[in-house]
């Protein structure tokens, strides 16, 4: 979304305080031809007794902002979706689904996203040869704080707003009709450390909470087992886990056999512990960070670092930089190096890499490889007893820096230069900005073109098998001793029965629907330094879930 100037914002906030005036001259929805919104007559259609108007006409009538293409045509109101900004709220709806996504606090450091439901899904109709989106205008207006005229309630079977505008905050049990009582299934998971604090550790963490409310999972199930992305992928290939967390994408050859479901996003923070500058944050660039990891910049008072940090330049020490990195195959490393390869390809020539140890890609004179994101933080902080470090740099999930800027004593989260030349921190708003510009669900949204976006952003994916009834070629493990495992087709004579695997996948699909599509996990994600998927990404998740075969139960 383009940045609006102060005049635009003030004008929209003034409009926000006004009342949407709607006059409906007749009570019979079927006979209704138009409605007046802010004195503008809009033609209507009726679907299942719910009156709908053209999305674009509605946006114009209420004075909402939407992005336009260079030819002045609407960019965010297309044949299938509508994204409009009204005051500090942004609403995203999509044809074919009742789920809509409302962001509050647009333009602030801490926007919040919640899932809401409409009485009826928006629909497309062909108008003058073009697909045109129609939306239930009463729902849209109420969600954005407007008021309906006294006669308008008659055109929706007198349904009150609070009865149909739902947001994902309430607790309730999940009970799938396909899984009978006494036939509960497993829900085993593990993998990447990046999403560990999203999935477990607190009562409302995604996996912990879902295990508590699902009636379809056998008792005594453990929560998410934190290892690494590579180990997680291996566990799904070997069917020792039902699903895995990974920040490392699947090999291209496996995309037909396994699915990658984006669950959430998070910034990869560049953290430092530098003596002599206190709690000051640095400005850093991709080329400088790449050269630090390659050993071309070895001291903190290097001229290039001082040049972009004038406020602390004279206090930067001449001490050697201790470079900390992940020693195992890591999705965090993959995201980090994806950014370096995109933003500084002349400095980092190795492309995106999950394993920095095997190929000996970190060539700094002082370097320390450790396992796990939490260990990166404590090592940089100098509190890791096995490896005492000072004047260190590392990269880690923002979610691993658990208590704010200075969580582990001496660790600082630094500003990173994005493609537009802005130095930004990994906050909710900057990560959401990167997600809003993401063009693929299967590549980390690094090096974003959004001027407000943080450039080192990772998806955390859920990896699952699409069809366990189909045999696959042998798999060589990514982690450990790289052993080879077979992947035969499952049937009812297998140790792991095909029907049991399908039940686990059915539960997984419900878990993702609950946490991501319905949005029950969004608040917990934000509260713990992760970010839920942006609406443009959420809208694509149901189609990915449909690729997992669960029929025949």
Strands, sheet with 283-284, edge to edge from the N-terminal-most edge strand? 283-284, 415-417, 423-424
Q: What is the pLDDT of the chain when averaged over all its residues?
A: 87
Structure tokens at 7: 């005049």
Q: For 265-288, write each residue's pLDDT tens digit.
A: 999 999 999 999 988 999 999 999
Q: For 38-67, write each residue's pLDDT tens digit.
A: 888 889 999 998 999 999 999 998 889 988
Say which range, 158-167, 224-233, 296-305, 343-352, has the weakest mean pLDDT: 158-167
Measure the CA dihedral 110/116/121/123, to 10°: -20
Could you tell me which residues come within 8 angstroms of residue 508 by beta carbon, excluding any fewer than 6 positions away?
A: 187, 242, 243, 462, 464, 548
DSSP 315-353: G---PBPEEEEESS--HHHHHHHHHHHHH-TTT--S-S-
Q: DSSP assignment, residue 217?
A: B
In the chain the domains, ranked by start, together with CATH numbers, are: 19-67 (no CATH), 267-460 (3.40.190.10)
- Judged against a pLDDT cut of 70, whether residue 157 lies above it is answered with no
Residue 337 pLDDT level (bands cut at 50, 70, 90): very high
For residues 453 and 5, what is the distance between their CA atoms, to the nearest angstrom? 18
Structure tokens at 136: 């239930």
Q: For 9-45, write each residue's pLDDT tens digit.
A: 333 433 333 344 443 333 445 557 888 888 888 899 9
Q: H or E stretch including 10?
A: helix 6-16
State the CB neighbour count (10 A cutoff) for residue 309.
Answer: 20
How far is the first Cα of the chain from the last one, in angstroms, to the nearest whole number? 44
Q: For 171-209, write each residue's pLDDT tens digit.
A: 678 999 999 999 999 999 999 988 999 999 999 999 999
Mean pLDDT of the 234-257 span: 96
């Amino acid at each position: 979304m383009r940045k609006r100037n102060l005049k635009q914002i003030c004008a929209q906030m003034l409009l926000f305080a006004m009342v949407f005036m709607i006059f409906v001259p007749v009570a019979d929805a079927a006979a209704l031809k138009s409605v007046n919104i802010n004195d503008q007559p809009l033609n209507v259609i009726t679907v299942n007794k719910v009156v709908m108007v053209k999305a674009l006409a509605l946006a114009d009538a209420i004075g909402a902002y939407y992005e336009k293409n260079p030819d002045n045509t609407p960019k965010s109101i297309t044949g299938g979706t509508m994204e409009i900004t009204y005051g500090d709220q942004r609403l995203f709806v999509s044809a074919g689904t009742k789920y809509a996504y409302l962001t509050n606090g647009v333009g602030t450091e801490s926007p919040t996203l919640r899932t809401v439901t409409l009485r009826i899904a928006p629909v497309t109709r062909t108008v003058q040869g073009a697909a045109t989106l129609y939306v239930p205008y009463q729902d849209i207006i109420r969600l954005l704080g407007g008021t309906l005229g006294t006669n308008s309630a008659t055109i929706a079977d007198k349904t009150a707003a609070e009865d149909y505008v739902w947001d994902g905050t309430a607790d309730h049990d999940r009970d799938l009709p396909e899984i009978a009582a006494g036939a509960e299934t497993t829900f085993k998971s593990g993998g990447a450390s990046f999403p560990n604090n999203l999935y477990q550790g607190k009562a409302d963490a995604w996996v912990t909470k879902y295990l508590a409310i699902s009636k379809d999972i056998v008792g005594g199930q453990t929560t998410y087992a934190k290892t690494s992305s590579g180990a997680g992928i291996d566990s799904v290939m070997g069917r020792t886990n039902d699903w895995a967390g990974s920040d490392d994408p699947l090999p291209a050859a496996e995309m037909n056999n396994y699915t990658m479901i984006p669950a959430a996003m998070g910034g990869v923070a560049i953290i430092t512990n530098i003596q002599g500058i206190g709690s000051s944050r640095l400005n850093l660039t991709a080329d400088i960070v790449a050269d630090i990891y390659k050993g071309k910049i070895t001291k903190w008072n290097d001229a290039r670092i001082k040049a972009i940090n004038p406020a602390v330049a004279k206090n930067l020490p001449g001490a050697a930089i201790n470079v900390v990195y992940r020693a195992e195959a890591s999705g965090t490393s993959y995201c980090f190096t994806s950014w370096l390869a995109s933003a500084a390809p002349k400095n980092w020539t190795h492309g995106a890499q999950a394993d920095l140890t095997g190929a000996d890609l970190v060539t700094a004179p002082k370097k320390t490889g450790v396992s796990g994101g939490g260990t990166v933080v404590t090592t940089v902080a100098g509190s890791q007893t096995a490896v005492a470090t000072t004047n260190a740099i590392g990269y880690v999930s923002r979610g691993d820096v658990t208590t704010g800027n200075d969580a582990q004593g001496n660790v600082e989260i630094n500003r990173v230069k994005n493609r537009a030349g802005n130095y930004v921190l990994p906050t909710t708003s900057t990560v959401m900005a990167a997600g809003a510009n993401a063009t693929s669900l299967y590549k980390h949204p690094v090096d974003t073109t959004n001027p407000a976006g943080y450039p080192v952003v990772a998806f955390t994916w859920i990896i699952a098998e699409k069809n366990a009834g189909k045999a696959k070629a042998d798999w060589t493990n990514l982690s450990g001793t790289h052993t080879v495992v077979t992947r035969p087709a499952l049937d009812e004579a297998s140790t792991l029965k095909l029907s049991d695997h399908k039940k686990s996948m059915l539960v997984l699909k419900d878990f993702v629907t609950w946490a991501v599509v319905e949005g029950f996990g969004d608040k917990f994600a934000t509260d713990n330094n992760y970010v839920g998927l942006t609406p443009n990404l959420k809208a694509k998740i149901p189609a990915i879930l449909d690729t997992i075969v669960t029929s025949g139960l």
